[in-house]
Every structure is written in C-alpha cells, then in structure tokens.
Amino acid sequence: MKRIIATATFIFLIGFSQSSFKTPPSQLDQLFDRYSAAYYALNPLAATAQGFNQYNDQLEIKISEAYVTKSRNLNQRYLDSLSGINKKELSAAEKLSVEILTYKLQAENDWFNNSLMYYTPVNQFVFSFPTQFATLGSGAGYIPFNTELDYRNFMSRMKQFQPWVDQAIANMQEGIRVKNTTPRAAMLKVPVQLKPFFDGPDSGNVFFKPLEKLPANLDTATATTLKKEYAAAIETYLKPAYKKLHDYIVTVYIPKARETSGLLDNHNGKKEYAAWLKYHTTTNITAETIFTVGLNEVARIKKEMDSLKNVIGFKGDLKSFFDYVKTDPKFFPFKTEDEILDRFRSFEKRMEPQLSRLFNMKPKAKFEVRAIEKFRAAGANAQYMKASRDGKRPGIFYEAVYEPAKYNYSTMEGLFIHEAIPGHHYQVSIQQEAAIPEFRMTYGTTAFGEGWALYAESLGTELGMYTDPYQYLGRLNNEIERAVRLVVDAGIHAKGWSREKAISYILENQPVSEAQAEQRIERYMVIPGQAVSYKVGEIKILELRAKAKQQLGEKFDIRSFHDEVLKDGSLPLLLLERKIDNWIEHQKATK
C-alpha cells in the first residue's frame, strides 16, 4: 500500500476503462487500491492514523465546500466504476468488497448532500474537532513525535488549523442565518474546554507536552532550535486560533444558538434527523420505530432489574434501589485514579480461560487502560482508540475519571467488556489484521461497531464475569442506557422533548447522577442518531444468532458464528444479515 500511495498520481493519469473491465482479481484489486490512495491523499489525518506518512504535514478542512466537492466527485467517480462490474464473475469475498465500497461511497455522499455537521462543526462532545486536534497535538493520539521531521510536520498542521477555525466560524455564522444551530445548553460547555488551549501557563497547555520529551538523538543545538520554533508556532498559530474561536462562540454564537434541544427547531430538522438515523444505523428505521422499540426495551430491562433487586434482597421499589446504588459508600471504594485503572486491568486475566470457548479468532494487537486526559475529560465518555498497525501503539481503553472517590464501581465489568475485550478491541483489531482491501481495514459503521460492543456485554456471564450481582446490575444499567437512548434521542429530535424532560426520563429509569444524565443528554443533542445505533446493532446481532441457532440446531457453533460476524470487518447491517444468511445455508449443506 505504501508503494501504491507513492504512485497514486501516476495511476490516476492512467485512468480506468470501464468498458474493458472484465473483473479479474488483479484489476479489481487495482481499483480498490486506487480508491484508497485517492482517499488518503484527500484525508491526510486518516492516512497518518493508518501509518501512511506521506501527508503528515497536511490538514484537511472537512467542513469546507472545496473538500465536500472534491470528496463527492471522488465518490461518484468510483461509484460509476463499480456500477460497471459484472458481479457474477466475482468470488464471494470480492463481491462483498464491491458491495461495501458502494455502500460507503453512497452513504458519504448522502452525508454531504444533507449537510450533516456543515453548519454545526463545533460542540462540547469529545469528537468535536478542536478537542480532537488538541488530543493529537498532545502526543496522546496517533500523530508521531519521534523525529525532528515529525515535530515540523505538526508545526505545519498548526498553521493549517487557523483556516479550519475561520471555516468553522463562517459555517456557524451561516447556520445562524439559515436557523441551523447547536443547542445553547450544549455550547455553554465549549468555552471552558477551549480556554486552556490559549490562556494560562504553558505548563497547563497540552500542545506543549511533546516538548517535554524530544527525540533522544537530537544534538543540543538542534533540540534548542526545535523547541524554540515549536513553541513559537503554538504562540503564532494555535493560541490565536483557539482564542478567536472561543471569543466568537462566547460573544456571537451562544447568544444566537437555539434554546431548544432537538432538530425540529432547525431548518429541515425532520429531514436531517432521518438522514442521521440512516447514516448511523445503516438501516431505513424511522424515528417512530426507534421510540417504540426503546419503550419496549426499557420496560423489559427494568423488569429484569426488579427481579435482580428481589434476589439481592433489597427492600423498596426500583427507584429506591437506584438511589441506593448511586449513593451507598460501598459502591465508591476507590481513593486514587490508579486503583480504578488497576481494577480494569485485572479483568483480562480473569476472562482468559473462557475466551477460547467463545472465540476462535483473537487479535494480535495489545491494549492498555488509561484515564482520559483532564483537558478533554469534560463532556467525554469511555472510549477506545485502536492500535497502530505496526504494533508500536497498543489499542487503548480510555475511561473518564473525574474524582476517584466519587467513581461508582458497579458498571466496571460491563464497561471493560464493551470497550476492550471482547468488544471494541477484538472487533477493531481483528478487522485491522484481516486479509482484506485497504479501504475495508479502516471502514466502520456505528451500528456494527457499537452493536458488537453492546452484544459483547451480553457474553459477560459466559466469560466468568458478573458474579457480583451488582456488576450484573451494572451490565443491565449499561443495556438500559442504550435502550433509554432510543427513547430520548427520538424524543428530543422527533417529538420535541426538552433537555429537562429527557434528563428526567434518564433519572427515572437509570441509577445515574443528575450530572451524568445531563452529560448524556447533551451528547445526544449534538450528535443525533449516533447513540441509537448501539441498540439497533445489538438487536440485529442477537436476532442473527437466534436465527442461526434455530436453523442449525446441533450444527450451531458459537465460535464459528462469532468468527463469521467479525472476520470481514465492519459491515452495514443489511450486508451483515445477508452474509450470515449465506453462512447459515452453507453450514446446513456441510456434513
């Protein structure tokens, strides 16, 4: 792939003759490689994340019209090429690759055509680009800081961050004009996140962290010069850009941002929500169906919670039980951040004997457990960062630890299973290590990835976890959180629920604090549809497992089923269902 990217310009000059394409594997592979090369050239950060360093000094501005136009044109060019392929001549693996790329390109163009995130490029959630860029600049992400060139490359990206900010402000200003804004309640969290990037001592600014550990092979003179120039770049480019964005949000945007919580108050909000749901769930599910399924799932899980309460012997109703779990000192045993992280680290060894009973395939990549950096902890949830392909950076399970003494232990096992093993770490690493085309190694859909991670939580008992009934309650709490999301996400964006009504619904149905409920609702307010895909994906995987077990009977092997779900990487749910149906038929025909 490195050779292919280096010769991408030459390949594009050669072109692609649709009329002469007979679909032999060599030409199909070339098509996929040309696409990947062109995609990385247009998306330098994605290239860096995958270890292709040709574009490490470049920064794309995804929210610009120029980027959207180039991306849309690139996608359409390859959609035209893919439409000329005779699928009858392809192997099953090749056909799947064609179907995945076709879906990916169409979904991206739908994203562009519906202007998703164009008018609202900044919010308080951890995925907001100003926060992401700071994570990269801190050295905690995938940006390399191993050589002098790495530092100078990021200095170049610092300079390009300024036009990103200018474009973000222009887009938000246009959003104000067309009445498409981010809720004020969520945006009020942003200034406090941005301020440390331009105000206060350098020791507290994460962009200076790479200077604390310069490459060891630099001589004194080079190190001194590099440190001076790098610090000057932060002062010249980053601090003014972050201050400009901060001041615009405080003085202009927040006063004009909408006071309502959902998309209905935005221009074309109903259409936008439907587009978000399709993008994240990879289905045509409607908001009404989301809402109804959510209500049913909440009722089912609460019934199981009530049964567990009775087994434990708690006297009182479910709300009192929730209050007990939220407040009793026994659920807050930690004094330090390290104690929390060490508890998480102990889970892998505990599960190890049972993993082979459920999985044939296991990733080679290692992983670590870390606390989310303080500068991005506000508004952040637990998350997984995938390992680098070269094995130098492990997969990382990040947890948000605000005050260790106030950290409730009851959800820890389910959370680890979801984010690490056998959840995201297994799924993402197996995909990245698979013998599949380059574009498929990095392709992901929320419904598949998060659906798998939530499904993985259901395997906890089989993995020897949840022996503590309160940890099983934590697993149910994780599940009901995803079910509640269906109700509040559709409630906010399709039924006009207020922020306060949605927060109240969470508090009525989950043992969480008001601060946690507030944080979650504000996430759903700014990223519509994303949170519902977890449950949609889990339900589909459970449905496919039940179908396979029912139709195969004694031939059903849970390890083979998990292999089949994971081995081809992330898939739109429509393609996953078709693939599992074909696998079932093949298993039936096998003696």
Which residues pair with residue 91 across a beta bridge?
Answer: none
The pLDDT, as a whole number, for residue 376 is: 59
- CA–CA distance, 464 with 466 (Å, rounded to integer): 7
- CB-based contacts of 400, cutoff 8 Å, min separation 6: 371, 372, 377, 380, 381, 382
The pLDDT, as a whole number, for residue 560 is: 96
The pLDDT, as a whole number, for residue 381 is: 72
- CB-based contacts of 574, cutoff 8 Å, min separation 6: 103, 282, 283
Number of other CB atoms surrounding residue 462 within 10 Å: 14
Instruction: Cite the beta strand spans of 545-588 per DSSP E.
Output: none
Residue 377 pLDDT class (50, 70, 90 cuts): low
Give the tokens for residue 6: 């280096």
Q: Which residues of 203-237 are buried (b: 16+ CB within 10 A; e: fewer)?
A: eebbbbbbbeebeeebeeeebeebbeebeebbeeb
Residue 13 pLDDT class (50, 70, 90 cuts): very low
Which of 494, 491, 543, 488 shows the shortest CA–CA distance to 510? 488
* Rounded average pLDDT over 276-291: 96
For CA atoms 160, 189, 177, 264, the dihedral sign is positive
The pLDDT, as a whole number, for residue 375 is: 63
The pLDDT, as a whole number, for residue 591 is: 64
State how beta strands 367-371 and 383-385 pair.
unpaired
The pLDDT, as a whole number, for residue 99 is: 96
- CA–CA distance, 414 with 336 (Å, rounded to integer): 21
Q: Within 13 Å, how many C-alpha atoms sit on residue 531's CB side? A: 29
The pLDDT, as a whole number, for residue 60 is: 98
The pLDDT, as a whole number, for residue 34 is: 96
**Most distant CA pair in the chain, distance:** 75
Asked if pLDDT for residue 7 goes beyond 80, the answer is: no
Q: Report how far Cα 339 is from the mean position of its chain's Cα atoms.
A: 27
- CA–CA distance, 75 with 69 (Å, rounded to integer): 10
Give the tokens for residue 117: 């995130």
Asked if pLDDT for residue 17 goes beyond 60, the answer is: no
- CA–CA distance, 330 with 409 (Å, rounded to integer): 9
The pLDDT, as a whole number, for residue 383 is: 85
Q: Are 584 and 561 in contact (CB under 8 A)?
A: no
Asked if pLDDT for residue 114 goes beyond 60, the answer is: yes
- pLDDT tens-digit map of 427-475: 999 999 999 999 999 999 999 999 999 999 999 999 999 999 999 999 9
Asked if pLDDT for residue 315 goes beyond 90, the answer is: yes
Phi, psi of 398 (to 5 degrees): -100, 135
* Rounded average pLDDT over 88-112: 95
Scanning 188-268, the segments in alpha helix (DSSP H) are: 190-194, 220-233, 239-248, 254-256
Q: How large is the C-alpha radius of gyration of the chain?
A: 24
Q: Is the peptide bond prior to 422 cis by the omega test (within 30 degrees of 0)?
A: yes
Q: Within 13 Å, how many C-alpha atoms sit on residue 578's CB side? A: 10
- pLDDT tens-digit map of 137-190: 999 889 999 999 999 999 999 999 999 999 999 999 999 999 999 999 999 999
Phi, psi of 399 (to 5 degrees): -120, 145
Asked if pLDDT for residue 127 goes beyond 80, the answer is: yes
- CA–CA distance, 36 with 440 (Å, rounded to integer): 9
The pLDDT, as a whole number, for residue 385 is: 87
Give the tokens for residue 382: 């637990």
Phi, psi of 369 (to 5 degrees): -115, 130
- CA–CA distance, 424 with 467 (Å, rounded to integer): 22
Which of 146, 153, 154, 151 shows the shortest CA–CA distance to 216? 146
Number of other CB atoms surrounding residue 489 within 10 Å: 33
Which of 84, 506, 485 shows the shortest CA–CA distance to 287? 485
Residue 388 pLDDT class (50, 70, 90 cuts): confident
Asked if pLDDT for residue 24 goes beyond 90, the answer is: no
The pLDDT, as a whole number, for residue 88 is: 87
pLDDT, averaged across the chain: 92
Residue 552 pLDDT class (50, 70, 90 cuts): very high
Question: CA-CA distances (angstroms) from residue 523 to 117, 168, 520?
Answer: 14, 20, 5
- CB-based contacts of 402, cutoff 8 Å, min separation 6: 377
- pLDDT tens-digit map of 491-541: 999 999 999 999 999 999 988 889 889 999 999 999 999 999 999 999 999
* Rounded average pLDDT over 209-217: 95
Asked if pLDDT for residue 26 goes beyond 90, the answer is: no
* Amino acid, res. 530: Q
Asked if pLDDT for residue 330 goes beyond 50, the answer is: yes
The pLDDT, as a whole number, for residue 28 is: 93
Looking at per-residue pLDDT, the higher value among 434 and 2 belongs to 434
- CB-based contacts of 533, cutoff 8 Å, min separation 6: 280, 281, 282, 445, 446, 447, 450, 451
* Amino acid, res. 376: R
